[in-house]
Structure 1
Amino acid sequence: MPDIDLNLLVALEALLAERSVTGAARRLGLSPSAMSRTLARLRRATGDALLVQAGRGLVPTPHAEALGRRVAALAREARAVLGPAGDDLDLPALDRTFTIRAGEGFVDLLGGPLATRLAAVAPRVRLRFVPKADKDARPLREGTIDFEIGVLGTAAPEVMSRLLFRDRSVGIARTGHPLLDGAVTPERYAACRHVVVSREGDAREPADDALAALGLTRAVPLVVPGYPDAMRIVRASDLVSRVPRSCLGNALVTDHASALGLGAFDLPVPTPDFVISAIWHPRLDDDPAHRWLRDFIARLCADAYS
């Protein structure tokens, strides 16, 4: 649009507000002669006098009066679109839906506290959790999700991440299970029947290598896709399983394991700890609302798992 100069919009806003060439010039940091030339350009662009002399002052024409109801809003929009991104957020007025890919364990344990805290500061923000079927980075790249919560596993070099909390594996069995009576040794652990959690259907876990080094193997009659599935099965059977410690409760949700009828125990063989992170694409790194929500979730996790 070669004939459009958005600076004219700002100048018209000042002229209509001040109803004075000198006042508008002072408001915009221009000389009175420069503002007079700008008013002449505005008159040519609109085909209207806009401001006319009335005694010692200027008064708007009917067309300028009609424009005045729109110019201020248009100027604000132009500044917002063409100016640098600001960090100031009106949280009570923030109206936005964020799509988050996260595991069921995170949603089960922190979905409620997160919704409660959000309602208190940003009641119009909505969170849409979607299943975490894999670690594919394409939804982040394509913008179908805003960020992911979990173990960083994508090979995409551009994704960004922030540590939320550190986690470790623990064993679970139903309350009253014989395994919970006494020390859990590798032999007793391997002698139990196990539920393994794997989205890919793989029955092997890191503990199997440590057990094999001791000459032990275990029976795995069930493989399920999620930790909540394993917890429900363990509660209703004599099978045992391995879950992240974070699935069993935290400082915000206490006694979760006992409420589910589960007892936890330290695994009798070493398994690696892991890190839960927020993961996002760089295109959203400087977005003020996205950055605010990342910080908000990080504080929630710190309160829960520190």
Structure 2
Amino acid sequence: MSRVDLNLLPALDALLSERSVTGAARRLNLSVSAMSRTLSRLRVATGDRLLLQAGRALVLTPYAEQLSQRIPALAREAEAALSRAEHRFDVATLEQCFTVRAGEGFVDLLGAALMDRLQRAAPGVQVRFTPKPDWNAQPLRDGAIDLEIGIVRTAAPEVRTRPLFRDRYVGVCRAGHPLLGAARISLEQWAACGHVMVSRTGQTENAIDVSLEPPNLRRKVAVVVPSYLSAMQLARHSDLFAAVPHSCLGNAFVADFAAANGLQYFELPLAIPAFTISEIWHPRLDHDPAHQWFRTEVLELCRVAYPQNPLEIRAEGR
């Protein structure tokens, strides 16, 4: 398009609609002489006179009449396409599907609240949750997922992260478990009982086992499941113990989730470091206004869900 000057497009639109060099100049805040020179350039570019003198007024040529049906919409479309992205963003009319990779706990305990929040602002938005079998960043790079929620365990240096809330592990067991009568469950008692381990990859050791002291102490793992909610259900219907994030017990939207499911929680008899749940995305979406809005909604949702868990949110980016 080296021979096309798009700056002529708004001038042509003004001339065709005003049918006056003076009126078009006033509309575009130009001098009459500058608009007259622009009309000359347009005549050369189109090979048509466009505007002809008819007494004291100007009239459109037949070709200009044809153009007058097309140019206004074309000028608006060109201006919209070349303006800054945020100027084109209207959340109320947004129609987009966001693909999110998150654990079952987030989906079950916060999914409904998230959708309620999104639908009130953007009824055309859809969310597609996908399973989280691992922490591979390739789906973020490929665009297969738009946002991941969880612990940052990827080695991909380019991903962006923003913390949502702090979490920690607690123990859960069925209400009325015989060991709950004690003032505090000892480490030896806890380790000797049967345990449900949560492992998406099937590994039989995690942060809890690494934290066991003395090193030769091992808990008795009876079953390995891929999700915390599955672990909670097994503990509910047996004498097995499970260790789950505190966030699985409930939140401002789903209060007393564990108690409502016949579970009782207790502090674990060993020190395990707390961890941060974050939202993770690829930098190509940094300045996409729809994605910026969506991840801000996720952040605000978590702030409401866990108000007792204040977390200083740093600026976006890793």
Q: TM-score, normalised by structure 1?
A: 0.93
> Which segment drifts farther, 72-81 or 244-253?
72-81
- Displacement of 1:177 after TM fit? 1.7
CA gap of 1:175–1:96, structure 2 versus 1, over 3 A, is same
Q: Is the 8 A contact 1:50 1:60 kept in 2?
A: yes
**Partner SS, residue 85 of structure 2:** coil
Q: 1-side partners of 2:209 and 2:77: how far apart? A: 60
- TM alignment of 1:1-306, pairs within 5 A: 1-86=1-86, 89-182=89-182, 183-213=184-214, 216-306=217-307
Q: 1-side partners of 2:174 and 2:300: how far apart? A: 32
Could you list the per-position Cα deviations for residues 187-227 of structure 1 after superposition, in whole angstroms to 9, with x for gaps in the alignment?
22112101111112111123324434175322112111111
- Displacement of 1:268 after TM fit? 0.9
> Which segment drifts farther, 235-244 or 27-36?
27-36
> Which segment drifts farther, 5-14 or 110-119?
5-14
Q: Is the 8 A contact 2:80 2:88 kept in 1?
A: no
**Partner SS, residue 13 of structure 1:** helix
Residue of structure 1 in register with 2:314 after alignment? none
The one-letter code of the counterpart of 1:240 is F
Could you list the per-position Cα deviations for residues 27-75 of structure 1 after superposition, in whole angstroms to 9, with x for gaps in the alignment?
2233322222222332333343333333323233343333333322222
The one-letter code of the counterpart of 1:37 is R
Q: Is the 8 A contact 1:210 1:270 kept in 2?
A: yes
> Which segment drifts farther, 285-294 or 37-46?
37-46
**Partner SS, residue 211 of structure 1:** coil
Q: 1-side partners of 2:211 and 2:44: how far apart? A: 83
CA gap of 1:278–1:39, structure 2 versus 1, over 3 A, is same
Total equivalences in the alignment = 306
CA gap of 1:181–1:53, structure 2 versus 1, over 3 A, is farther
Q: 1-side partners of 2:12 and 2:76: how far apart? A: 13
* Structure 1 residue runs without a partner (length 5+): none
Q: 2-side partners of 1:178 and 1:56: how far apart? A: 102
**Partner SS, residue 69 of structure 2:** helix
- Displacement of 1:83 after TM fit? 2.5
Instruction: Give percent identity, aligned residues only.
Output: 59
Q: 2-side partners of 1:140 and 1:237: how far apart? A: 39
> Which segment drifts farther, 9-18 or 284-293?
9-18
- Displacement of 1:123 after TM fit? 0.5
- Displacement of 1:234 after TM fit? 1.5
Q: 1-side partners of 2:268 and 2:242: how far apart? A: 10
Q: TM-score, normalised by structure 2?
A: 0.90
> Which segment drifts farther, 49-58 or 218-227?
49-58
CA gap of 1:69–1:168, structure 2 versus 1, over 3 A, is farther
CA gap of 1:71–1:184, structure 2 versus 1, over 3 A, is farther
CA gap of 1:68–1:97, structure 2 versus 1, over 3 A, is farther
Q: 2-side partners of 1:146 and 1:207: how far apart? A: 31
Q: Is the 8 A contact 1:99 1:147 kept in 2?
A: yes
Q: 1-side partners of 2:117 and 2:221: how far apart? A: 40
What's the Cα RMSD here? 1.9
The one-letter code of the counterpart of 1:263 is Q
- Displacement of 1:180 after TM fit? 2.5
Q: 1-side partners of 2:87 and 2:100: how far apart? A: 22
Q: Is the 8 A contact 1:92 1:121 kept in 2?
A: yes
* Structure 2 residue runs without a partner (length 5+): 308-318
**Partner SS, residue 173 of structure 1:** strand
Could you list the per-position Cα deviations for residues 216-241 of structure 1 after superposition, in whole angstroms to 9, with x for gaps in the alignment?
32211211111122122222222111
Q: Is the 8 A contact 1:87 1:288 kept in 2?
A: no
Q: 1-side partners of 2:65 and 2:190: how far apart? A: 83
